[in-house]
A = this chain, B = another copy of it.
């Protein structure tokens, strides 16, 4: 261990790195045949790679709110991008600060503040408390959600863009250099070739590589680390490899059509599909990704973006090593969901096939008690909410399991085999989508639930539809929806039982811990509530002394 082997108070820090829309299998340590990611692999070799890690929702904002609250989507309620996280909902920042650990944000959260709730409670966004409420509990070193699109109704993101400010300071001549340079190429006529258009995905982004988003955020991270004092958790949250799918040179042509995997899809999936799956397959995104020309342009760009992320991770790791911090920093590498990239006839994320709902998760903990598991994989059913619990434990706290629904991963890192969950849950609220309209559903009926026990994956759809069922042991590619037939009713019933059990979880009793409850038992008697005494002999004298004494006068005629 180096001179900096612990923070001043003896704890390790937490570098919680998230990539956006990074598929679990687009890393060389996870077996990708063409994409070489030596820096992800380097962390995997020092720590544990979790091979069955699932997000609580395959959509950015909802998934992230689960990471940040440690709670299921139905528990925190931010069920779609831009649905505000209700005021007062506790986050990682609240939990870690209680343990004396700072909690900083560097990058994206996709969190929308509950402005109405804050106003109702009189919270000003200018106050520290208000700012933390508005920033999902983080103190913001830099917040950049990475989607600075602008249309006829204005900007998608109403906040200031620190990244655009940076680009302007570097002389990029545009009011929105994010759109016009970082996420656009240039065509032969010198016109902007937008990165929104797949046909441009093979062009280099018209920006110096060092000015593109991933290196910029890496430098911000290093700035943060170098000045940080005391114990900290830093959420370093990259927008990439999320779309727009365009990447600067030299990453734009490192990969080509030859490196594009065959799509994981089968005609049987289009034969009498589940109505919700069918609606998604017919969507605009899916139609695009069903085209070979689209995949052959987009996937090499996506791979280039990941390769750039890997190189920048190397920069970060080298800095940690050079400054002696590798001994006192937990490193977590993960993603908020995957990307179909044409698998299952789909694009984007949204549904529950492995490409969408499964995430990469690599955890390195420098402490000696985790030495035995370095370089191993763990196939326990892990949920994204487990990280919040893990971090609270790293900070030295007891996990408040009446609030945080995830479980600490540290036992797995120590090489133990804890009694563990039997199934993972993920949810998807598609009420805001064209698919909801197409299916004629009311918003509250446009909700999906996944229950996966490690082998069978059940997807329940509200709105009166049949479920979907996949057996990943016999059908790892998830082509055969077993709920089309009747042979697997027992498995369906069993998984519905799991979902029902989950539905009755105690998720909102957030103001009383299990320990509080145990400690409070019997207290009311000692505070004078003695409602069921036949003659007073039932309880000790000490509790009934207040019952006696002279009456001080007769006020009624008996």
Residue positions of A touching B, CB distance < 8 A: 74-80, 82-88, 90, 94, 114, 116-117, 120-123, 127, 129, 133, 147-156, 172-174, 176, 179-181, 184-186, 190-194, 196-199, 203-209, 211, 243-244, 248-249, 284-285, 288, 291, 294, 347-348, 429, 431-434, 437, 442-444, 447, 449, 460, 462, 496, 499-500, 502-504, 506-512, 514, 517-518, 520-536, 538, 542-558
8 Å CB contact of A549 from B191, B248, B521, B551: B191
Are A74 and B508 in contact (CB-based, < 8 A)?
A: yes
Are A86 and B88 in contact (CB-based, < 8 A)?
A: yes
Residues on B with beta carbons closer than 8 Å to the beta carbon of A449: 504
Are A204 and B83 in contact (CB-based, < 8 A)?
A: no
Are A117 and B129 in contact (CB-based, < 8 A)?
A: no
**What 10 A-B pairs have minimum CB-CB distances, sorted nearest first?**
A503-B503, A149-B528, A77-B508, A500-B500, A88-B88, A151-B528, A194-B547, A156-B527, A150-B528, A84-B511
- Report which residue of A121, A204, A536 has the largest number of chain B beta carbons within 10 angstroms of its beta carbon: A121
Are B510 and A153 in contact (CB-based, < 8 A)?
A: no
CA A74 to CA B502, docked complex, whole Å? 13
Residues on B with beta carbons closer than 8 Å to the beta carbon of A558: 185-186, 203-204, 249
Smallest beta-carbon distance A484→chain B, Å: 21
Inter-chain pairs besides A87-B88, A173-B553, A444-B506, 5 sampled, C-beta below 8 Å: A74-B507, A78-B509, A154-B527, A173-B552, A179-B528
Majority-rule SS of A interface residues: loop
Residues on B with beta carbons closer than 8 Å to the beta carbon of A551: 180-181, 184, 186, 190-193, 206
Residues on B with beta carbons closer than 8 Å to the beta carbon of A496: 500
CA A548 to CA B437, docked complex, whole Å? 31
Residues on B with beta carbons closer than 8 Å to the beta carbon of A525: 151
- Report which residue of A156, A285, A538 has the largest number of chain B beta carbons within 10 angstroms of its beta carbon: A156
Are B557 and A511 in contact (CB-based, < 8 A)?
A: no
Q: Which residue of chain B has its CB nearest to the CB of A176?
A: B546
Smallest beta-carbon distance A145→chain B, Å: 11
Smallest beta-carbon distance A385→chain B, Å: 15
Residues on B with beta carbons closer than 8 Å to the beta carbon of A530: 149, 151, 194, 196
Residues on B with beta carbons closer than 8 Å to the beta carbon of A150: 527-528, 546
CA A499 to CA B79, docked complex, whole Å? 22
Q: Which residue of chain B has its CB nearest to the CB of A547?
A: B194
Are B504 and A503 in contact (CB-based, < 8 A)?
A: yes
Smallest beta-carbon distance A326→chain B, Å: 34
Residues on B with beta carbons closer than 8 Å to the beta carbon of A511: 77-78, 83-86, 114, 116-117
Are B508 and A86 in contact (CB-based, < 8 A)?
A: yes
CA A530 to CA B209, docked complex, whole Å? 24
CA A437 to CA B78, docked complex, whole Å? 36
Are A151 and B206 in contact (CB-based, < 8 A)?
A: no
Q: Taking A532-B347, A534-B198, A547-B197 as contacts, is the C-beta distance between A122 and B116 under 8 angstroms?
A: no
Residues on B with beta carbons closer than 8 Å to the beta carbon of A88: 86-88, 117, 120-121
Residues on B with beta carbons closer than 8 Å to the beta carbon of A181: 551, 555
Q: Taking A184-B551, A500-B496 as contacts, is the C-beta distance between A527 and B433 under 8 angstroms?
A: no
CA A63 to CA B401, docked complex, whole Å? 24
Q: Which residue of chain B has its CB nearest to the CB of A75?
A: B508
Are A531 and B244 in contact (CB-based, < 8 A)?
A: yes
CA A508 to CA B427, docked complex, whole Å? 13
Residues on B with beta carbons closer than 8 Å to the beta carbon of A127: 122
Are B523 and A153 in contact (CB-based, < 8 A)?
A: yes
Smallest beta-carbon distance A284→chain B, Å: 6
Are B87 and A509 in contact (CB-based, < 8 A)?
A: no
Residues on B with beta carbons closer than 8 Å to the beta carbon of A211: 555
Smallest beta-carbon distance A59→chain B, Å: 13
CA A80 to CA B208, docked complex, whole Å? 60
- Report which residue of A78, A153, A429 has the largest number of chain B beta carbons within 10 angstroms of its beta carbon: A153
Q: Which residue of chain B has its CB nearest to the CB of A499?
A: B500
* Pairs across A and B, CB under 8 Å, 24 listed: A74-B504, A79-B509, A87-B121, A151-B526, A151-B527, A152-B526, A155-B527, A180-B549, A181-B555, A194-B530, A194-B547, A196-B544, A197-B533, A203-B558, A206-B554, A207-B555, A207-B556, A208-B555, A249-B556, A288-B532, A432-B520, A434-B522, A503-B503, A503-B504
Are B444 and A514 in contact (CB-based, < 8 A)?
A: yes
Are B556 and A208 in contact (CB-based, < 8 A)?
A: yes
Q: Which residue of chain B has its CB nearest to the CB of A117?
A: B88
Q: Which residue of chain B has its CB nearest to the CB of A248?
A: B556
